[in-house]
A and B are shown apart, each in its own frame.
Chain A
Amino acid sequence: MQTMTHSADPLLQVRDLSIAFDTRHGPLRAVDNITFDLAPGEILGMVGESGAGKSLTGTAITGLLERPGHISGGEIHFEGQRIDTLSKDAMRPLRGRKIGAIFQDPLTSLNPLLTVGKQLVETIQTHMAMSKDAARKRAIDLLAEVGIPAPEQRVDHYPHQFSGGMRQRVVIALALCADPKLVIADEPTTALDVSIQAQILALLKKMCREHGAAVILVTHDMGVIAETADRVAVMYSGRLVEIGPVEQVVKNPRHPYTKGLMGSIPVVGGGLKRLTQIDGAMPRLTDLPSGCAFHPRCPKATEACTRVKPSAVKVDDGQVACLLYEGAQ
């Protein structure tokens, strides 16, 4: 297990990042003061329910946040360079070259009017000084590497001629074609069937290890994280509630939300009569509770939880934002 995340120079540093949406009724804070590091080659799982802000965090790192959403505070450093303040033009060479992205739906992330070869060659030539022939050769090699049969022929096919799983393989090839240092994978297997999901996760892991890319894996599926990630960040209502090595978070979760989340996942052979349930639902952004955002659903909430917004404290190898652990410091 990797515990070198703080010793080596981090590849990515996110500091007090906040993302807000301006509305007629004032700004809505969708991401609230989150801080984490990512080491080179590390796979960080970001997990949370819909609306927790996990995708927005990934989008902010790629610089693709669209108005009315914007970064309202904090900093993002990539390879020592601050990137959240870069202009669109300055960000463009970084994105694709150094930071790749994989999205949920492989059909909408490919251009239906161009062959996959053309899309790969275009991306390779944009980011690397290569002749057309060399880029095409690299495209075929990449397709072979992601497990597409007969890549010499398939390179000239259009996206609609590929199945869902095969398309996602093409998207992975596209994200990794310029050997980026960081890949943001946003729900990469959610649109796929379970047997294909296993193939794609194994491929993503293998490709990133071989190409030395770090990954931020955004998903709502704790099983995917448990299987793939080195560390896990759990988000709730725009806040990071727990972050730590995957083994610690999955087997010994500390934050009451993470505990509830783990208990609510049915497992095969569990033989359970009932699932643990967290009553209620995540609050709307327009209606965030005071103090800890989880307190209305928390079985251990005290009066202090309704007033004080907990800050992250170190617990074992991870960090937890919960008042239960603040006294233990």
Chain B
Amino acid sequence: MQTVTTQGTEPLLSITGMKKHFDLSPPLLNRMIERKPAQHLRAVDGLDIAIPKGKTFSLVGESGCGKSTVAKLVVGLYGPTEGQVIFDGADLTDLEASQRADYRRRIQMIFQDPYASLNPRWRVRDIIAEPMRSFGLVGSKQEERDEVARLLELVGLNARDGEKFPHEFSGGQRQRISIARAISSRPDFLVCDEPTSALDVSVQAQILNLMRDLQEELGLTYLFISHDLAVVDFMSDYVGVMYLGRLVEVGPANEVFHNPTHPYTRLLMDTIPDMGMTRRDRAPVAGEVPNPINPPPGCTFHPRCPLANARCKAEPPQLRAMPGDARVSCHAAEEGRIPPLAKGPQAQNDEPTMQLRASAGGA
């Protein structure tokens, strides 16, 4: 299986041929008596990504596209239906439980909701020390206390905050606690599932800055999951755009954001509220994400795509390399039917979308 985003360097984590299907079939008796068909939700349907060490790979997409399922597959909360998670050369889906522990220590997760992800009955020092205890990383009580204090200060809290309970903190401070817990087992890899979407913007800025600082300081590698394109652009080295369980476009962040090829990526770019105050009318993007239990045949995006033709309705496209480093899964791109984006300075955030509108007019 090919790696998608790296050239030369060995990825720290790669996912190959990943599929996760959920069985939503009615009970066997109903199927037999009422002749109800079996139903499968293909939450993730063939995904290949590779994340180089020290970099941030972001998955972006709308709700139901499968991005959170990928997060759970990577940390091992779900087992895959098919495919592998290869971390530092080892296949995590095929390890003995005893061997798995050390890899689990090296992959930690930050969750979306800091109100639900911290045990309200534990003191903060216990919350942060728990991963160290379970992996046996600290010897004495004193050592543990020092380490908790160091972690609290590292994430911008006070060492004395360890004595408090989670309810005594605001949302942003709680997310700092979550981060301290995630890094307490000295991981190499963090899975961050919408870590700032429950926070106010000014607090979001603090947390995003903190995450970038920690990445630099500790050499962490991130899998970052978000629906907010501006946040993703700020955080990422590589971006994968997901639609109904598949990647439609993947590549270096600046390329995907400044030269989006797939019609869905362009659609997402066009939905970013316009802070440039140009008062453009947004292209009215028709339609919604279809039901993933019963996805459209061919390219799953074709009902919303302005460029769809007969081939798109019949044949699912594959990820193909484009000029540049991005890979796109689109028949129109392969056949050269994608209208080009006008080239120009990309200094302002509304530029790409303006260009898209100009080109989408004829479609």
Contact = CB atoms under 8 A, between A and B. Distances in A.
A60 to B, nearest CB: 22
Contacts of A49: 200-203
B274 interface: yes
22 contacts: A49-B201, A50-B171, A50-B200, A194-B62, A194-B229, A194-B268, A194-B272, A195-B285, A220-B200, A222-B201, A223-B274, A226-B275, A246-B277, A247-B277, A266-B205, A266-B208, A266-B234, A268-B272, A268-B352, A269-B349, A273-B212, A279-B206
B257 interface: yes
B346 interface: yes
Interface in B225-252: 227-231, 233-234
Contacts of B99: none
A261 interface: yes
Given A193-B289, A194-B228, A196-B288, 13 more contacts: A194-B229, A195-B62, A198-B270, A220-B201, A223-B272, A226-B273, A227-B282, A266-B228, A266-B230, A266-B233, A268-B349, A277-B205, A281-B203
Contacts of A69: none
A275 B234 CA distance: 9
Contacts of A250: 275, 277
Given A194-B271, A277-B209, A281-B172, A269 B234 contact: no
A297 B205 CA distance: 15
B230 A265 contact: yes
B347 interface: yes
Given A49-B202, A199-B284, A266-B234, A274 B212 contact: yes
Contacts of B172: 281
Interface in A164-191: 165-166
Most B-side CB within 10 Å, residue of A50, A193, A247, A273: A193
Contacts, number: 129
A282 B292 CA distance: 40
A300 interface: no
Interface in A235-274: 246-247, 250-251, 260-261, 263-270, 272-274
B275 A267 contact: yes
A226 B272 CA distance: 11
Given A194-B62, A264-B202, A227 B352 contact: no
B294 interface: no
Contacts of B270: 198
A260 B208 CA distance: 15
B55 to A, nearest CB: 16
A202 interface: yes
A197 B271 contact: yes
Contacts of A224: 273
A221 interface: yes
B62 A268 contact: no
Contacts of A264: 201-202, 204-205
Interface residues of A, number: 45
Interface in B249-291: 257-258, 267-275, 277, 281-282, 284-285, 288-289
Nearest to A261: B202
A243 B229 CA distance: 28
A278 B202 contact: yes
A112 B149 CA distance: 50
B62 A193 contact: yes
B206 A223 contact: no
A163 interface: yes
A267 B173 CA distance: 24
Chain B interface residue bracket vs A: 35 or more
A268 B229 CA distance: 7
B300 to A, nearest CB: 15
Contacts of A276: 205
Interface string A146-166: 000000000000000001011
A272 B205 CA distance: 12
6 closest Cβ contacts across the A-B interface? Answer: A223-B273, A264-B205, A49-B200, A275-B205, A193-B62, A266-B234
Contact of B285 (A50, A199, A272): A199
Given A223-B273, A250-B275, A269 B347 contact: yes
Given A247-B277, A260-B202, A269 B282 contact: no
A266 B212 CA distance: 14
A226 B206 contact: no
B348 interface: yes
A7 B232 CA distance: 44
B173 A269 contact: no
A268 B230 contact: yes
Interface in A203-249: 220-224, 226-227, 246-247
A221 B229 CA distance: 14
A270 B350 CA distance: 10
A220 B346 CA distance: 27
Contacts of A163: 288
Contacts of B234: 266, 270, 272, 275
B233 A268 contact: yes
B248 to A, nearest CB: 13
Contact of B275 (A196, A223, A281, A282): A223
Contact of B349 (A50, A251, A270): A270
Contact of A198 (B277, B282, B349): B282
Nearest to A262: B275
B170 interface: yes
B63 interface: yes
Contacts of B289: 193
B340 to A, nearest CB: 18
Contact of A195 (B170, B271, B277): B271
A275 B205 CA distance: 6
A287 B110 CA distance: 30
Contacts of B285: 195, 198-199
A121 B347 CA distance: 50
A222 B228 CA distance: 13
A135 to B, nearest CB: 28
A268 B254 CA distance: 10
A202 B281 contact: yes
A268 B272 CA distance: 8
